[in-house]
Amino acid sequence: MPEFTFSPAQEMLRKAVREFVEKEIEPIAHKIDAENSCPMDVFRKMGALGFAGVIVPKEYGGAGLGLTERAIILEETARHAAGFAMTLMTHQLGIEVLLSYGSEEQKRKYLPELASGKKLGGLAVTEPSGGSDVGGQQSTGELKDGKWVLNGRKCFITNSSEADVCVVTVRTGEDAKGRPSFSAFIIEKGTPGFAPGREEDKFGLRGSGTGDLSLNNCQAGEDAVLGGVGNGTKMALAAISKVGRTGMSAISVGILRGCLEEGVRFAKERVLYGKPIAKLQAIQLEIARNRVDYEAARLLTYYAIGLKDAGGSCDAEIATAKYFSTEAAVRAAKRTMDLMGGYGVVNDYPVGRYLRDALATIPSGGTSHVMQLVIAGQTLA
């Protein structure tokens, strides 16, 4: 069973990340949101410190740590800038598929620069015809004269414009039962026929680019196939659960801590009837509820991640953590706005951003409906 206490080394990591985030990210958190800009210089610094490549083994240039350490980094980053944490989280999603399914040659080629933050990664699965319905992807890959020719359009892809290395899934044939089967390809930025398209103007998780990627007779060699022809969906779904959903949970825990800390700060400073509103019982109840949501999300998140780090099969626990944490972050942000009265809607305070960010965590990595279906499926099995 995973433990609920962190090791001294994990506590040291948390302290180091917190110091970094408070110095480098917190001062620009409002700007990242207002300008919807991703500070790639900060990303590179995080790479140099081993934060971007935390889950990559040392032999490929990473820090050689686990998902728990990764969650600590994401939580601390999201405490102040969930949008920026989203860039980091999706970079690691791209890394995960390469790490778990890449050939030795592919790992040696791509992982060192992704781990060091010199390059940015991504994973492109979603299409206009297929978000929750992964089997609905229409993009195709055809093998012609020894080259794969890819066509189609991806949407809602994090890091779409910035990613240097993107793993893209397309339909490449049918399985034994005649159902569409999909394969994953490693496509580098600048490959002819592969280009970013429109960017979404999201209201939350700003600072992480989200947009289209188009494939227009994009050619890929057989060495670009990741994990074998026909295995694309299986690999992508495994990575989305292991790294995507755990990542969204950790980001939500960071938002929840932000809500708790900002609520406490405001309640102690705001004076009404001659005393801080922290003395009012109604306000105390809001703070208590925020604390319960934060503690519960934290326990569920690190529990599921601990199970995964221990090598367990725990998709339902991960879905539970993702569902609870993302929804709890929305509740906590709304409560924090409520306890701040009119100040809650003023952009000088970060709580409006927390609410927008929390709402945007819900579809990312699978909606709350889909999370409940995963939980129910395994409960009823």
Ligand X SMILES: Cc1cc2nc3c(=O)[nH]c(=O)nc-3n(C[C@H](O)[C@H](O)[C@H](O)COP(=O)(O)OP(=O)(O)OC[C@H]3O[C@@H](n4cnc5c(N)ncnc54)[C@H](O)[C@@H]3O)c2cc1C
Is 360 near ligand X (CB under 6 A)?
yes
Interacting residue with ligand X among 97, 120, 125, 318 (CB under 6 A): 125
Q: Which of 307, 325, 366, 375 binds ligand X (CB under 6 A)?
A: 366
Give the nearest distance from C-beta 286 to ligand X in angstroms.
Answer: 28
Report the nearest approach of ligand X to the CB of residue 362 (Å). Answer: 8
Residue closer to ligand X by CB (options 284, 368) is: 368
Tell whether residue 367 is a contact of ligand X (CB under 6 A): yes
Q: Does 323 bind ligand X (CB under 6 A)?
A: no
Residue 369 CB, shortest distance to ligand X, in Å, is 3
Which residue number is nearest to ligand X in terms of Cβ? Answer: 131
Structure tokens at 263: 């609520």
- Which is nearer to ligand X, 57 or 136 (by Cβ)? 136
Q: Contacting ligand X (CB under 6 A), which of 43, 156, 194, 349?
A: 156
Of 102 and 209, the one with the shorter C-beta distance to ligand X is 209
Quick one: which segment of 38-46, 118-126, 309-317, 339-347 binds ligand X (CB under 6 A)?
118-126
Give the dihedral sign, CA 44/46/48/54.
negative
91 residue type, one letter: H
CA-CA distance, 373 to 197, in Å (whole number)?
A: 32
Query: Between residues 97 and 360, which has the closer beta carbon with respect to ligand X?
Result: 360
Among 82, 98, 124, 267, binds ligand X (CB under 6 A): 124
Q: Which helix (H) or strand (E) holds 22?
A: none
Helix axes of 315-339 and 351-361: crossing angle, nearest 10 degrees:
150
What dihedral do alpha carbons 322, 328, 330, 331 form, nearest 10°? Answer: 160
Q: Which amino acid is at 300?
A: L
Instruction: Print burial letters for 202-238: b (CB count within 10 Å at least 16), e (below 16).
Output: bebbbbbbbbbbbbeebbbeeebbbbebbbbbebbbb
Spatial contact of 43 and 88, defined as CB atoms under 8 Å apart: yes
Pick out residues in 167-226 that bind ligand X (CB under 6 A): 205, 210
Q: What does the alpha-carbon distance between residue 371 and residue 208 come to, in Å, rounded to a whole number?
A: 23
Number of residues lying near ligand X (CB under 6 A): 23
Which one-letter DSSP state was computed for residue 180?
E
Instruction: Note whether 43 binds ligand X by CB under 6 A.
Output: no
Nearer to ligand X, 163 or 278 (CB): 163
CB 378, min distance to ligand X, A: 15
Q: Cβ of residue 276: shortest distance to ligand X, in angstroms? A: 37
Could you say which residues in the range 130-149 bind ligand X, by CB under 6 A? 131-133
Instruction: Please state, in angstroms and rounded to a whole number, the distance separating the CA atoms of residues 244 and 238.
Output: 9
The tokens for 208 are 């992480």
Quick check: 246 binds ligand X (CB under 6 A)? no
Asked if 90 and 46 touch (Cβ cutoff 8 Å), the reply is: no
| Residue 170, token pair as written in the block | 């397309």
The least CB distance from residue 330 to ligand X, in Å, is: 14
Give the nearer residue to ligand X in terms of CB position, either 77 or 90. Answer: 90
- Please report how close the Cβ of residue 133 comes to ligand X at its closest, in angstroms: 6
Nearer to ligand X, 84 or 156 (CB): 156
Give Cα 161 to chain centroid, integer Å. Answer: 17
Calculate the dihedral angle through the C-alpha atoms of 297, 301, 304, 309, rounding to the nearest 10 degrees. -160
Site for ligand X in 73-92 (CB under 6 A): 90
Determine, following the binding rule CB under 6 A, whether residue 123 of this chain makes contact with ligand X: yes
Q: Which of 53, 364, 374, 375 binds ligand X (CB under 6 A)?
A: 364
With respect to ligand X, which residue has the nearer C-beta, 112 or 131? Answer: 131
Q: Which amino acid is at 118?
A: K
Alpha-helical segments (H) within the chain: 8-20, 29-35, 40-48, 67-80, 82-101, 104-115, 232-239, 246-269, 281-309, 315-339, 351-361, 368-380
Residues that bind ligand X (CB under 6 A): 90, 122-126, 131-133, 156-158, 205, 210, 360, 363-367, 369-370, 373
